[in-house]
Structure 1
Amino acid sequence: MVIVTDTVYVSRTVQAQVEQLMQWYPVVSVTGPRQSGKSTMLRRLFPDYDYINLERLQNRQAALLDPAGFIEDRPNHLIIDEAQYVPDLFSSIQAVVDEQKIKGEYILSGSQNFLLSKNIQQSLAGRVGIVKMPPLTFSEIVAGTSVIDDLDAVDEFTFRGGYPELVVNSIPSRIYFQNYVDTYIARDVTQFLDVRNRDDFIRFLRLCAENAGQTINYAAMSSVLGVDYRTVKAWISILESSYITFHLQPYHSNGTKRLVKTPKLYFYDTGLLCYLLNIDSSRSMLLDQHFGAIFENMVIAEQLKTHLDRGWEPRLFFYRDQQQREIDLLDFTMPDQHQIVEIKSGRTYHERFSRHLRSVGNELGIPAFHRHVVCRTEMSFRDGDIAIDPVNKWLIDQ
């Protein structure tokens, strides 16, 4: 992936969603992982708004001491970053917006979705438009930079990921993610959970990486780490609320029985995943034993991010039944565009990749033109009723 200068701003798909919600709600909440570009986007979109960051101790102390005065003494058009640090602010904001009834008065951003959502539900329910902003997608990078949408660029994107700092700067990904884990992930967890041994949590992160794309086995992880089962569940919960990992649920309907009931674990960003797996280049990634899982993770995460950026509630599943038929991704987000997708990291297509797409597709009523194999082939073609899509084309077309 070609690296561009740090003067480049990559336009975000989610911008349209934010601007629309500002016309409908007095408050808009933008959540997403740390360093995903929330503050940069908001300050660029709304340059006339005052901006204050509650991660700065002086600002936080002032807000904690006098939340009502903190809000009332400032202009109505205000961006509050890391708003979850001062829960009492939400009641003060509620009082102002209920009195003035002005659309787009406040923008709240934060990296802790659980805490931000909890405070919104308690004080601002019905008054807030909610936006989830993940790291950059491959298509956003291609549209906003000099990156060419070829297979090499996809491989480099899979290795480096979509955090804006890594896209617009030449910082080595190892340096960036080492700092990211130390400064943000580990610190956030120790703030919100009782993590007595930081090294145990880092081991847990790496264990999650080794199990990316697999069904979650809390008991096995607990045994490997030597920590309580409930601790593992709590740690995974905080990773989800921090937009580090997400679950892919198994599909089932009234007419089908699931072979498994537990979800699979995936990372929002495969750059972080590669770092946790000690992969140091895109070349070594291609040869790594985990590459198949990394590639699958990337394609599924891109599908999730694309839906979030457009304001759609993702309805993504994997399929596994009693006949041992498995399909990597079922995307039922759009009611009239259900898709089933098999994801393969190789550069050669084999007929066996399509076997379950046909039988399961027929049973679920998925139209033939919505059955896909996404792989690293160079050209698009069809195997009967199955579309074979090069990954670079697939990522751009979604």
Structure 2
Amino acid sequence: MEEIALKMAGWFPVVSVTGPRQSGKSTLVRKVFSEYDYVNLENIDTREAALADPVGFIRDRPQRLVIDEAQLAPELFNMIQVVSDETGEPGQYILSGSQNFLLLRSITQSLAGRVGLLRLMPLSFAEARAEQGDLGLDDFMRKGGYPRLYDRKIPARVYYDGYVSTYLERDVAGYLDVRNIRQFETMLRLVAQTAGGLLNITRLAQDASVSSKTAREWLSILESSYIIFLLPPYFANIRKRLVKTPKLYLNDTGLLCHLLGIRSFEQLRDSPMRGAVFENLIIAESMKQYLNAGVVPEMYFYRDSRGKEVDLVDLTNAPKLVEIKSSRTFRGTFSATVNELASLVPGGVPKECRYVVMRRDDDIVVGDVQVVSAESWLLRCPDVSYR
């Protein structure tokens, strides 16, 4: 990600670093852009100065400036646009913030076409293992990838208790009436129970005792703050793809397990959500590998009218089809829909790009598919290119 951030700064006058709370955004920008001046708008005096005189705040500082929590002073964005247009030089301003909805809204309104967007997600499995050499797949699935879990050795339950409270009090409270915070937390926990399933807004709204309109708005908050993401269905007709029901996942399985009350390997092993958590891990980590490489993935799932499904259709570069199974035992039925769909994707999908990812210890080839262990899949470098 450090290399990608530098590339973005060489391409765009403004670089914005977004991502979930506590994913390491401030650490990244201060390390990569250490020669820049740095201001943090969470400092009350600094924020008041920016709000009182946005023109002077920008004009009186060097044009190599990192602005952390930039969304707290949206008045600055028009001036950033003016100054960056005057010089036309790349890498003038680096913006980061934890309230992504507000930050992205300000960027869209004032800096469209001038900003390179980076999404910094929690640590990948490979990055987390580099921090904790004995980290196994099941441990990572329960623990998740937030950096403080590794550099400060905070127990997962303690960390996520604080994370959820901070998220609700500092991020969500800015959008909702305080009386609705507890209902929002209820919906957050309900969302966790639907991970890996088709999004049913009506059911979520009923279970959370809110209107469907409110449920949609709250899901938008969860998505813009990188708690959840939606995986759209794949169809040859792109217009159909936009109107069919997506599947819902959480960006981090540590948070998912916390919300599900899964605290140990035994609880995960015996949970009816075990398969969904494993599927969530593979999908989220596959997406994270692209995002951390600065590439927006083009990923879908496939389900036909008969209910046959392929968990991941990855069209980001070379097409890949991925079926995900939490079992250790391979069965021929696992690959049937993968092979069937391979002929329906325009241009086809070669045998070497058809996968079944499982909780096994080795990689084998069975017929026309590559059967790979989850660890092997998560440790692979993504196939990325800038097109």
> Same fold per TM (> 0.5)?
yes
Counterpart in 1 of 2:328? 347
> In the alignment, residue 292 of structure 1 is paired with which amino acid?
G
1:358 pairs with 2:345: no
Three-state SS of the structure 1 residue aligned to 2:57 is helix
Q: Is the 8 Å Cα contact of residues 41 and 68 (structure 2) preserved in structure 1?
A: yes
1:74 pairs with 2:61: yes
1:310 pairs with 2:293: yes
Task: Name the CA distance, whole Å, in 2 between partners of 1:255 and 1:378.
Answer: 38
Q: Is the 8 Å Cα contact of residues 64 and 88 (structure 1) preserved in structure 2?
A: yes
Q: Is the 8 Å Cα contact of residues 257 and 321 (structure 1) preserved in structure 2?
A: no
Counterpart in 2 of 1:192? 175
Structure 2 regions of 5+ residues with no counterpart? Answer: 383-387
Three-state SS of the structure 2 residue aligned to 1:119 is helix
Counterpart in 2 of 1:11? none
Task: Name the CA distance, whole Å, in 2 between partners of 1:110 and 1:343.
Answer: 34
Counterpart in 1 of 2:385? none
Counterpart in 2 of 1:4? none
Q: Is the 8 Å Cα contact of residues 338 and 370 (structure 1) preserved in structure 2?
A: yes
Q: 2:75 aligns with which of 74, 85, 88?
A: 88
Structure 1 residue 101: Cα displacement: 2.9
Structure 1 residue 310: Cα displacement: 1.5
1:287 pairs with 2:270: yes
Q: Is the 8 Å Cα contact of residues 29 and 131 (structure 1) preserved in structure 2?
A: yes
Q: 2:227 aligns with which of 233, 244, 257?
A: 244
> In the alignment, residue 343 of structure 1 is paired with which amino acid?
I
Three-state SS of the structure 2 residue aligned to 1:39 is helix
Structure 1 residue 256: Cα displacement: 11
> In the alignment, residue 77 of structure 1 is paired with which amino acid?
R
Q: Is the 8 Å Cα contact of residues 340 and 357 (structure 1) preserved in structure 2?
A: yes
Q: 1:234 aligns with which of 217, 222, 231?
A: 217
> In the alignment, residue 185 of structure 2 is paired with which amino acid?
I
Three-state SS of the structure 2 residue aligned to 1:373 is strand
Deviations 1:117-146 (A, max 9, x none): 22122222222111111111112223x334
User: Size of the alignment, in residue pairs?
Assistant: 379
User: Where in structure 2 are the equivalents of 1:1-398 lying within 5 Å?
Assistant: 14-142=1-129, 144-148=130-134, 153-194=136-177, 196-254=179-237, 261-334=244-317, 337-364=318-345, 365-397=348-380, 398=382
* 1:238–1:145 distance in 2 versus 1, CA, 3 Å: same
> In the alignment, residue 382 of structure 1 is paired with which amino acid?
V
Task: Name the CA distance, whole Å, in 2 between partners of 1:251 and 1:204.
Answer: 27
Three-state SS of the structure 2 residue aligned to 1:17 is helix
Deviations 1:283-311 (A, max 9, x none): 42222111110110010001111111112
Q: Is the 8 Å Cα contact of residues 23 and 103 (structure 1) preserved in structure 2?
A: yes
Task: Name the CA distance, whole Å, in 2 between partners of 1:114 and 1:187.
Answer: 13
Task: Name the CA distance, whole Å, in 2 between partners of 1:282 and 1:256.
Answer: 42
* 1:279–1:382 distance in 2 versus 1, CA, 3 Å: same
> In the alignment, residue 36 of structure 1 is paired with which amino acid?
S
Task: Name the CA distance, whole Å, in 1 between partners of 2:296 and 2:364.
Answer: 30
Structure 1 regions of 5+ residues with no counterpart? Answer: 1-13
Give identity over the alignment, percent: 48
Task: Name the CA distance, whole Å, in 1 between partners of 2:288 and 2:240.
Answer: 29
Task: Name the CA distance, whole Å, in 2 between partners of 1:314 and 1:194.
Answer: 35
User: Which one is further off, 249-258 or 234-243?
Assistant: 249-258
Compare relative contact order (CA 8 Å, sep 6+) and give the higher one, 1 or 2: 1
Three-state SS of the structure 2 residue aligned to 1:23 is helix
Q: Is the 8 Å Cα contact of residues 186 and 201 (structure 1) preserved in structure 2?
A: no
Three-state SS of the structure 2 residue aligned to 1:107 is strand
Structure 1 residue 347: Cα displacement: 1.7
Three-state SS of the structure 1 residue aligned to 2:136 is helix
> In the alignment, residue 31 of structure 1 is paired with which amino acid?
T
Calculate the TM-score normalised by the size of structure 1. Answer: 0.91
Deviations 1:244-286 (A, max 9, x none): 100000111139977x811111001010001101111234222
Deviations 1:172-193 (A, max 9, x none): 1111111111112443112023
Three-state SS of the structure 2 residue aligned to 1:40 is helix
* C-alpha RMSD over aligned residues: 1.9
Three-state SS of the structure 2 residue aligned to 1:48 is coil
User: Which one is further off, 299-308 or 120-129?
Assistant: 120-129
* 1:33–1:56 distance in 2 versus 1, CA, 3 Å: same
